[in-house]
Structure 1
Amino acid sequence: MRKVKIADGVHMFTLNVDNVLFEGIWELASGVTLNSYVVQGEKTAIIDGVIGWDGVPETLYKSLGEIGVDPKGIDYLIVNHMEPDHSGWISNFMKIKDDFTIVCTDKAAKMVSSFYGEDRIRVVKEGDTLDLGRGKVFSFHLVPNVHWPDTMYTYEKSTKTLFSCDMFGSFGKMGDHVFDDEMTPEEDVFFECEAIRYYSNVMTTFTPMLRKAIQKARELDITTIAPGHGPLYRNNVEKIMDDYSRYSQYAEGAGKNEITILWGSMYGMTGKAIAHAETILEREGIKYNKLEMPLESESEMVATVFKSAGVIIAAPTYEYKLFPPVATALDELGRKKVSNKAAFRFGSFGWSGGAEKELAEIIERNKMKWDFVPSVEFEGSPKEEDLRKIEEGILQLIGKMKGKIVE
């Protein structure tokens, strides 16, 4: 666990984690950080305690001791968000200290009781404050459904630090650099990709509420944004707010100037048409991403489709329905409420069609409102006429994308 001084009396403890499924679902190709913060005045508060993925907080206790903080001297546990990657150490802490206060929202208080059987709770409302002494004063600001209904911001007034928990977070492990103004250009690109993966996998469903949370952050006088996962922002706090605003647009149909080919093929018939599609995209100078299902991870699939202004669904009919791995991927995108994407589908069939009907059912059931170019279906291997229609469809898709590009 690494210790970083943010300001006088304010420290971050960060732990890199990999080889886990985040929330038990999302594969983390580049890991994730768990960030915890300690603020010291006359009294001491810890914000969103890092536990280590195995639930054992001894690494946190050891790190606290190294900056002169006795865990038994902690007065307040600030719980911005009750998800156990931020709160799971409470049950252990209860064993070593019995006179602390948990500070959280009313919705979090119910979960503190049900998760950990704890009732030493101070419920805070919008704008409530907590004075630690020596100039350290917190104010609390509710941001429900980011991405749980209990979430709040904690803002420290003297240092103008926003402890934002999951908001403005990112996947990806951190190396020597933890602040935005320390990052190399390569690290900037890396954390941009990992922030998109984080938003798309974890936050997209709650995009309307995230927009409100972004606005609430803009109303505060912030010098440093300190999230629960990923880098800290102190050089240009507006950038991560602007990035999150852009991601909220990706969730509702905008995207980078690129197309994702979401595809599957049983015996190579649809695959032949994909090869043709690639030559058209290369000729037109359009960047594209190619995701073969089910070989691609769900985490990568969601993130890649999410950030693309256009989507090509290339999948055959299978047992009168859409090729199942592609259908499953589309259903997950629907659950995440990735809506209004410009899209085009082509695929082969054998003795009967049916893929097109199920595609329409998935889009309608999930209220995705994707804007489709007319599909192209072909029997067996694609013929010259089929390839010509696919080219026309791709050119129409590129046209639909033009009003959706947000870089």
Structure 2
Amino acid sequence: MDYKITDKVTWVGKIDWELRKFHGDEYSTKRGTSYNSYLIKDKKNVLIDTAWLPYDKEFVSNLKKEIDLKEIDYIVMNHNEVDHSGALIELMREIPNTPIYCTANGAKVLKGLYHEDWNFVTVKTGDTLDIGDSKLVFIEARMLHWPDTMFTYMTGDNILFSNDGFGQHFATENLYNNTVDQAELYQEALKYYTNILTPFSVLVKKKIEEILSFNYPLDMICPSHGVIWRDNPVQIVEKYLEWADNYQENQITLVYDTMWNGTRRMAETIAKGIKSVDDEVTVKLLNCAKTDKNDIMVEVFKSKAILIGSSTINKGILFSVAGNIEMIKGLGFKNKKAAGFGAYGWSGESVKIITEEIEKCGLKLVDEGIRELWNPDKDALERCFEYGKEFVEKIK
């Protein structure tokens, strides 16, 4: 397969079809991923980013097929998390004095990770590197999503090398956005934004507006995971602006776990109450002990309101519910309303705890929630149905 994406630029990364977990066990990668690295051959030769550590030798070996390593004039590291910088150790053994262009924070990260004092050249927004017919323009993108992150724009070919920005964990042999299943692509792009970039949405919006103000022509966006945006690359920029703006759809999601199905029956009945008065709203029920946590976060991100349910156990809430609340708290979702529900046997603290946690998450509390004793009977389920109906009215 030809990995040449322009006359000057060649994709030299690694497609990882087998990856199923990322960031330790924090992010599920059901469709694998890619570690995109790019080689620019102009009057000067530049390598942009590398690959993850397990593929360091393979990466360097394949790179040698494209270029004599000693002919690489510069290395640009847009972001230095191990999935992008892992192959540097192996590469720098062969070309130890090659200048590495990165932000000041980038140099600190690389030194902290690898304890090597390489030939760092630190750059900031507006700095340029003349490589011949083209120039590289550096744009700091602090906290998108690490303190060291930057983008690199290549004049002439009009390419934005955006590292984690606009990426997806999505393995494909078809490099470009218009050559893959669009539903899969956007599902993975939204999942990536939700779980990685949501906490920085304000910064995302500001950075995109800043880049747009430069009026750079844009023919391609080359991220470091997933597809290259070649066909109408602005489409993903527009999506990011939409997602960064307190995003919500007409959806209510019930996230719950249950011990003996009492809380599950409550969830199902509340959902029926919601639908009885609003047939237009999308309602989803997700048992968080059985559903991928990152997929749950996507549904929370899409929702205008959520209901969190748990049985009471040991005067607390169930483990899976607590973990998902912690993720919601960390991601800092905006423009969403919430309440709690749950079944209990004797002490019944779960709904009170959920209510307190909802406020800590920065969500707007709708009410004090609903709880029912033991296995909900007909009267209890009727109360749940009515609660669902009232919930719809309260979130208008």
Pick from 309, 332, 351 the counterpart of residue 356 of structure 1: 351
Q: CA deviation at 1:138?
A: 0.4
- Bigger mean CA offset, 317-326 vs 149-158: 317-326
Q: CA deviation at 1:285?
A: 4.8
Q: What CA distance in whole angstroms lies between the structure 1 residues aligned with 2:284 and 2:11?
A: 37
Question: 1:179 corresponds to which residue?
Answer: 176
Q: Is the 8 A contact 1:281 1:287 kept in 2?
A: no
1:263 correspondence with 2:260: no
Question: Counterparts of 1:199-238 in structure 2 under 5 Å?
Answer: 199-219=193-213, 220-238=216-234
Q: CA deviation at 1:79?
A: 0.5
Pick from 371, 376, 381 the counterpart of residue 382 of structure 1: 376
Instruction: Name the SS of the counterpart of 2:299 in structure 1.
Output: helix
- Bigger mean CA offset, 71-80 vs 305-314: 305-314
Q: Is the 8 A contact 1:142 1:153 kept in 2?
A: yes
Q: Is the 8 A contact 2:129 2:135 kept in 1?
A: yes
Q: What CA distance in whole angstroms lies between the structure 2 residues aligned with 1:218 and 1:384?
A: 58
Q: What CA distance in whole angstroms lies between the structure 1 residues aligned with 2:306 and 2:161?
A: 36
Q: What CA distance in whole angstroms lies between the structure 1 residues aligned with 2:395 and 2:227?
A: 32
Instruction: Name the SS of the counterpart of 1:4 in structure 2.
Output: coil
Question: 1:405 corresponds to which residue?
Answer: none
Q: What CA distance in whole angstroms lies between the structure 1 residues aligned with 2:261 and 2:146?
A: 43
Q: Is the 8 A contact 1:40 1:136 kept in 2?
A: no
Q: Is the 8 A contact 1:13 1:50 kept in 2?
A: no
- From the superposition, tell whether residues 170 and 345 of structure 1 become closer, same or farther in structure 2 (CA, over 3 Å): same
Question: Counterparts of 1:238-253 in structure 2 under 5 Å?
Answer: 238-249=234-245, 252=246
Q: CA deviation at 1:282?
A: 5.5
Q: CA deviation at 1:329?
A: 1.1
TM-score between the two structures when normalised by the length of structure 1? 0.88
Aligned Cα root-mean-square deviation (Å) = 2.2
Question: Counterparts of 1:294-313 in structure 2 under 5 Å?
Answer: 294-313=289-308
Question: 1:37 corresponds to which residue?
Answer: 38
Q: What CA distance in whole angstroms lies between the structure 2 residues aligned with 1:212 and 1:12?
A: 29
Q: CA deviation at 1:331?
A: 1.6
Q: What CA distance in whole angstroms lies between the structure 2 residues aligned with 1:401 and 1:235?
A: 39
Unaligned runs of 5+ in 2: none
TM-score between the two structures when normalised by the length of structure 2? 0.91
Instruction: Name the SS of the counterpart of 1:153 in structure 2.
Output: strand
Q: Is the 8 A contact 1:321 1:357 kept in 2?
A: no
Q: Is the 8 A contact 1:344 1:393 kept in 2?
A: no
1:191 correspondence with 2:185: yes
Q: CA deviation at 1:306?
A: 1.9
Q: Is the 8 A contact 1:197 1:299 kept in 2?
A: yes
Q: What CA distance in whole angstroms lies between the structure 2 residues aligned with 1:268 and 1:170?
A: 36
- From the superposition, tell whether residues 93 and 61 of structure 1 become closer, same or farther in structure 2 (CA, over 3 Å): closer
> Match for 1:239: what amino acid?
Q
Q: CA deviation at 1:127?
A: 0.5
> Match for 1:37: what amino acid?
Y
Q: Is the 8 A contact 2:273 2:384 kept in 1?
A: no
Instruction: Name the SS of the counterpart of 1:304 in structure 2.
Output: helix
Question: 2:167 corresponds to which residue?
Answer: 169
- Bigger mean CA offset, 387-396 vs 72-81: 387-396
Q: What CA distance in whole angstroms lies between the structure 2 residues aligned with 1:83 and 1:333?
A: 23
Question: 2:146 corresponds to which residue?
Answer: 148
- From the superposition, tell whether residues 267 and 90 of structure 1 become closer, same or farther in structure 2 (CA, over 3 Å): same
Number of residue pairs the alignment of both structures matches: 389
Q: What CA distance in whole angstroms lies between the structure 2 residues aligned with 1:329 and 1:98?
A: 44
Question: 1:337 corresponds to which residue?
Answer: 332
